[in-house]
Amino acid sequence: MKCLRAHFDTETNPFGDLYEVFVTDGEWPRGELRDIRLRRDGTVVELCHLETAPDPERVASHDDIVDFDISSTSDGGAVCHLHMHPTEHVRRLLELLDEHDLLLDTPIRLTRDGITVHVLGGHDQLTAAVSSLPDPLAAAFSVDGFSEYTPVADSVRAGLTTRQREALSVAVELGYYDIPRCSTIDDVACELGCSASTASEHLRKAESHVLTKLG
């Protein structure tokens, strides 16, 4: 089985207003889309975990949202269950998955730069689906590569919150754990868009969880 890695940039994402409704304090939503399904009536249901809880009044005022439920999480984020009328592009994407017998590997990452997806299937089916993308979607869709699909046994990271995982990944990328250290906690905080004390707290909790699992 092959895995297609791809992303939609923030400004060209196909989710339109349904993505922008989660914008908080001028920042694009970050978190994970845990599940998304196209119903027989053409509507969509989805479950997502966001790092920052959206404004319920703003969500409720959106014409395309049929129903929703937002629950706060212990890490300061929110779990959102939505029933909505999707954009034409979102509907077409989900239809293509069904037409070509493909699967979305969840969670789908929602980042400050856009939406990252992993699609699973045979090479021919994946290629045919990409070739069938309508022009507006093809222009927004960036393929990062194909590879053999290897399920990751991620039991150590599984217990981390989305923000803790992001902080840990950023710290590693910036060389925070290199010897000698190549960055400071201020550098990590700047990349995360938070205070140094908050970044430090995320890393301490992540480190405690990982070391406990390994120990």
Omega of the bond leading into 180 within 30 degrees of 0 (cis): yes
Strands 114-121 and 44-50: unpaired
Look at residue 121 and tell me whether its pLDDT is greater than 90.
yes
Look at residue 116 and tell me whether its pLDDT is greater than 70.
yes
Helices (H), 42-134: 56-60, 88-99, 123-131
How many whole angstroms separate alpha carbon 53 and alpha carbon 49? 9
**Domains of the chain in sequence order:** 2-148 (no CATH), 155-214 (1.10.10)
| CA-CA-CA-CA dihedral for 52, 54, 56, 60, to nearest 10 | -150
According to the model, what pLDDT value does residue 100 have?
A: 93
How many whole angstroms separate alpha carbon 26 and alpha carbon 17? 14
Length of the chain: 215
Q: What is the average pLDDT across 7-19?
A: 68
Higher pLDDT, 39 or 30: 39
According to the model, what pLDDT value does residue 196 have?
A: 93
- Between the two ends of the chain, the Cα-to-Cα distance in Å is 34
Helices (H), the chain: 17-20, 56-60, 88-99, 123-131, 135-140, 155-158, 162-173, 185-192, 196-214
Query: How large a percentage of the chain has pLDDT more than 90?
Result: 20
Q: What is the average pLDDT across 12-24?
A: 67
Higher pLDDT, 126 or 150: 126
According to the model, what pLDDT value does residue 126 have?
A: 92
Tell me the pLDDT tens digit for each residue of 58-70: 888 888 889 999 9
Question: 5 near 151, Cβ under 8 Å?
Answer: no
Please tell me which of 30-44, 49-63, 103-117, 118-132 the model is most confident about, judged by mean pLDDT. 118-132
According to the model, what pLDDT value does residue 101 have?
A: 93
pLDDT band at residue 189 under the 50/70/90 scheme: very high
Q: What one-letter code names the amino acid at 176?
A: Y
Look at residue 197 and tell me whether its pLDDT is greater than 90.
yes
Rama region for 16: left / alpha / beta (φ>0; ψ in -120 to 50; rest)? left
| Bridge partners for 211 per DSSP | none
Which residues 6+ apart lie within 8 Å of 80 measured at CB? Answer: 22, 47, 48, 49, 50, 54, 59, 68, 69, 70, 71
Q: What is the mean pLDDT of the chain?
A: 83
Cα 112 from chain centroid?
Answer: 10
Cα 148 from chain centroid?
Answer: 21
Strands 31-38 and 44-50: antiparallel
Tell me the pLDDT tens digit for each residue of 139-176: 778 888 888 887 655 556 666 777 888 888 888 888 89
Tell me the pLDDT tens digit for each residue of 35-60: 888 888 889 899 988 888 888 888 88
